[in-house]
């Protein structure tokens, strides 16, 4: 029996090695990895540039804490500040998406309390993390219920409903609207550009911040550094993680200088360490120099098209997503978990996002051959489960 807490319904496979888009289990069997570390493995396994950056940083200096700075930390903060369309940006570096969102919530709450606006509007169906504050902000009651009562900062509204947002903003007590441009754990559901622009306009009218969780869809996974860029919307505050580190734990909060934390208001012993910062810089360099954002868009569109072409009739009801954050909704009577099991039997690893959605978050380096292999495996898996 494993000594690990059963916090995940783990797939029955033990992985020991990876290279590019492939991983191998402890019996030597290869798999095409469409999980990609739940979206964190932006460059694939053992990418040479990433490995060189990580080993070089680890050989140069150990953890320094944040009582001093290091070149990788300063360089990464500058890169993110200049590229995330947040005006006059400053960056707080941490270790995960939940930590980045926790920092974000503290920051907007601090600003709101200054103006006697303690409330944060969040979306039903959202997922922001498993810490106490991020769980309280998560719009999935079944995840909150075992731990309630939680923080009472949040007011929930349905995604896509601007009338409901107007009603939530009407009391005049809202510090921020906090949302994922693509609801990841909520089923890979992109919010429309019209809705996002409507939220931005209403935040401006209400003097509320627009705070955006780009943990899952950001750092290039949508084909742009921030997924919200496609809507031509500029957020006030942004959280990043997952794909940013290419496989090492790192998160980032990007906010205007006027909103920044001061000394002692927030912190992290490990956040912004030289090794994960070097990894993130390698990811950004490879994205730029190998034109990976174009590949994300091209391969994401191709995977959707090929699955649509090959899937047996009536087995899928929807295909959603942006770039290489994709969700394939199984028809009623077909459980996503069963499709994932059937895919694994054909040498392809995928995950679920809710009961009926099969989620694919492969590395940005995926090519046509892997897309073809994945689509054929999807078709066979769906046929098997539907039989």
Q: Which residues are catalytic?
A: 127, 213, 242
The CA-based diameter of the chain, rounded to the nearest angstrom, is 61
Which residues, 6+ apart, have CB-to-CB distance to 45 below 8 Å? Answer: 17, 18, 19, 20, 21, 22, 23, 33, 247, 363
Contact present, 171 and 118 (Cβ < 8 Å): no
Q: How many helices (H) and strands (E) does the chain have?
A: 12, 17
Cα 286 off chain centre by = 19
- If one counts every other C-beta atom within 10 angstroms of the C-beta of residue 173, the result is 16
The 3-state DSSP class for residue 148 equals coil
Could you say which DSSP state residue 266 is in? S
Backbone φ/ψ region at 291: left (φ over 0), alpha (ψ -120 to 50), beta: left
The 3-state DSSP class for residue 335 equals coil
Nearest to 254 by CA among 380, 90, 378: 90
């Amino acid at each position: 029996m494993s000594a690990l807490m059963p916090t995940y319904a783990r797939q029955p496979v033990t992985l020991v090695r990876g290279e590019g888009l492939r991983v191998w289990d402890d019996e030597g069997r290869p798999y095409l990895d469409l999980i990609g570390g739940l979206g964190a493995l932006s460059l694939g396994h053992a990418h040479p540039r990433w490995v060189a950056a990580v080993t070089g940083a680890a050989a140069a200096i150990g953890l320094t804490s944040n009582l001093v700075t290091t070149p990788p930390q300063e360089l990464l903060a500058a890169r993110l500040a200049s590229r995330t369309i947040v005006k006059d940006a400053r960056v707080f570096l941490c270790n995960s998406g939940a930590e980045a969102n926790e920092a974000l919530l503290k920051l907007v709450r601090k600003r709101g309390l200054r103006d006697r606006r303690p409330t944060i509007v969040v979306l039903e169906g959202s997922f922001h993390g498993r810490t106490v504050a991020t769980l309280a902000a998560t719009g999935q009651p079944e995840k909150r219920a075992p731990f309630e009562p939680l923080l009472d900062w949040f007011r929930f509204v349905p995604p896509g409903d601007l009338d409901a947002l107007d009603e939530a903003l009407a009391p005049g007590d809202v510090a921020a609207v906090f949302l994922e441009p693509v609801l990841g754990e909520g089923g890979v559901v992109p919010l429309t550009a019209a809705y996002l622009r409507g939220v931005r306009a209403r935040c401006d009218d209400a003097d509320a911040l627009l705070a955006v969780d780009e943990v899952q869809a950001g750092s290039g996974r949508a084909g742009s550094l921030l997924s919200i860029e496609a809507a031509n919307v500029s957020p006030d505050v942004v959280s990043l993680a997952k794909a940013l580190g290419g496989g090492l734990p790192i998160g980032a909060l990007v906010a205007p200088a006027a909103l920044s934390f001061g000394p002692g208001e927030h912190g992290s012993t490990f956040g912004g360490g030289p090794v994960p910062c070097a990894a993130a810089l390698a990811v950004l360099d490879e994205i730029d120099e190998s034109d990976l954002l174009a590949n994300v868009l091209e391969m994401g569109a191709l995977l959707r098209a090929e699955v649509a072409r090959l899937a047996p009739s009536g087995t899928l009801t929807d295909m959603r997503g942006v770039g290489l954050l994709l969700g394939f909704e199984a028809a009623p009577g077909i459980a996503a978990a069963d499709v994932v099991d059937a895919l694994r039997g054909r040498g392809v690893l995928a995950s679920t996002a809710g009961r009926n959605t099969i989620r694919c978050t492969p590395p940005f380096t995926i090519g046509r051959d892997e897309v073809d292999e994945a689509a054929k495996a999807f078709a066979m898996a769906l046929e098997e489960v539907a039989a």
